[in-house]
Chains A and B, each alone.
Chain A
Amino acid sequence: MEFTTNQTAYTNDGPLKMYRIWYYFREAFASIWRNLSLTLAAIFTVAISLALVGSSLLVREGAERATAQFQEGVEFIVFMNADATVEQDGAIRDVLENSPAIEDYAYVNQEQAYEEFSTLFSDKPDLVNSVSPAVMPPSYRIVPTDPSAANVTELARQFANQPGVKEVATATEAIRQIDDFSTRVSQALLIAAVVLVVVSALLILNTVFTAIGARRQEIEVMKLVGATNWFIRIPFMLEGTIHGLIGAALAIPALFVVDNKVLAFFQESDAVPLFRGFAVPDGFVWDTSIWLLLIGGAVGMIGSAIAVTRYLDV
């Protein structure tokens, strides 16, 4: 090699050349390993906060699905016996058509009821297979002229006494209960989650700050020989992002536990009518998981970006 001076232009080095990716990851993981206890604290905080965020979303989705039948002004549902006679059915229909107390109604036959049931429990094929259209109760979804609770309760009482009627579910009580419940639970979870997300960002910031401190000398030399600012920053930001992603990855199994155990517990309890509809399909849990990964990565990147801009001085 000839030792002449560097007369040519500076080396062309974009910060994202392939051969540098390896460097960034090596540095980030070396730093995580050096700083393991702080890193674990940051990761677990991210995991707990994101598990809460996810649970809050699941509870809200469950509540929405449980009350899906009561949309567009439907205040109560008259379920007929599966073996109700044509006369019994006709009597009910006659009242619905002619009573001034009834604004509108929709008939859901056994086929449609079965369709709805299979959609609601699409991820529980055993349950769907255990029923058939023949055992599903046909129903009338009824929009009353006066939606006040007292009126709806009175109408429901009258319908419940008609021959051929299996049961009457009213929105006013059931929806209020389920809405109250889910709003309270999901809000409490969300507040706790937001606080913890901020705490995780601060913990990641602190961890990355410590990592920067451990490499002060190296950073000084890097600046001295002309490493670009991004080259110095990226491993630290990658480190924070990895914290966030690992935390999110740990929160995902927790989400499935919430789905399979906690929501299932409500479905099986008879505490509140309609809780049996309190289910979310696995697809929604996976979608939520992707959101958690995005949030986790973003929290990690933001936390480390603040650390880098405040303490790196590059």
Chain B
Amino acid sequence: MIRLENVTKVYKGDVTALRAVNLEIQRGEFVFLVGQSGSGKSTFIRLLNREEVADSGKILLAGKDLGSLRSWSVPALRRNIGCIFQDYKLLEKKTVQENVAFALEVIGQPRPVIRKNVPAILDLVGLTQKADRFPDELSGGEQQRVSIARAFANRPTVMLADEPTGNLDPSTSVGIMKLLDLINRRGTTVVMATHDRSIVNSMQRRVIELDRGVVVRDDSHGIYDEPNGVYE
């Protein structure tokens, strides 16, 4: 599903965000990206979403080579990828259901399709009761659910999550993880960058650890800390 071959990304000012990264993620996997701030997790996500382009190496996602992708094909790629963030990126002037409908509307889905899908997606994330509320009337956890609903509205094959529980308390975070797990079980590959030790430890999924742009660990059923306790 996702393959990185010798991928290096250097930002202006000679900051190396990723250095010669090689790895492969299978369809349907759930992968945690861990590491300190500045270790390259966000760059990893942004490369997969093609918000950034690698300086060298090759990234394949769903059979597409992101390096040689024309800019006009990027929208087609993004329709296959759902993205969620620490700050939700919801539109404050739209209601919950309008936020979700917006994602379908702007990719040209016809009105009947939108009318049919939006309630079903809101039901999946458990926000049917709050369909007509505005984002500032919701708790952080609810806002993140809206953002997941929006990301999942077009039923993408890959879900990218950059610190999705970064602003949430532990019990709310568990709810979000259950939702991501549900989406993953329906076939969507999930890649999640996180600092959250307890979530990673409780999920027992694949863990890829980055340190200054280099993959230093890749456990198929890992925990947040290195087994020998060296990593803090």
Contacts and interface: CB of A to CB of B under 8 A. Distances in A.
A311 interface: no
B108 A5 contact: no
Interface stretch (A15-23, A108-116, A191-199, A293-301): A15-23
Contacts of B110: 19
B170 interface: no
Contacts of A17: 108
Interface string B80-102: 11010000010110000000001
B87 to A, nearest CB: 11
The interface centre, meaning the residue of A4, A23, A221, A222 with most chain B CB atoms within 10 A of its CB, is A221
B72 interface: yes
B139 interface: no
Given A224-B89, A226-B75, A226-B77, A11 B109 contact: yes
Nearest to B99: A221
A13 B79 CA distance: 12
A233 to B, nearest CB: 12
Interface in B172-209: 183, 186-188
B75 to A, nearest CB: 4
B103 A231 contact: no
Interface string A224-260: 1111110110000000000000000000000000000
Contacts of B117: 1
B197 to A, nearest CB: 28
A223 B187 contact: no
Contact of B108 (A7, A11, A220, A223): A11
B78 A223 contact: yes
A65 B20 CA distance: 78
A10 interface: yes
A228 B109 CA distance: 13
A5 B111 CA distance: 21
Interface in A3-42: 3-7, 10-11, 13, 17, 19-20, 23
B109 to A, nearest CB: 6
The interface centre, meaning the residue of B75, B78, B92 with most chain A CB atoms within 10 A of its CB, is B75
B155 interface: yes
A129 interface: no
Given A13-B108, A225-B103, A6 B89 contact: no
A19 B106 contact: no
B186 A5 contact: yes
A38 to B, nearest CB: 20
B126 interface: no
A97 interface: no
A130 interface: no
A228 B107 CA distance: 7
Contact of B154 (A217, A218, A226, A228): A226
Interface of B: 49, 71-72, 74-81, 83, 89, 91-92, 102-103, 105-111, 116-117, 120, 124, 150-157, 183, 186-188
14 contacts: A3-B124, A4-B186, A6-B154, A7-B157, A11-B79, A13-B107, A13-B109, A221-B91, A221-B150, A223-B78, A224-B83, A227-B106, A227-B107, A232-B106
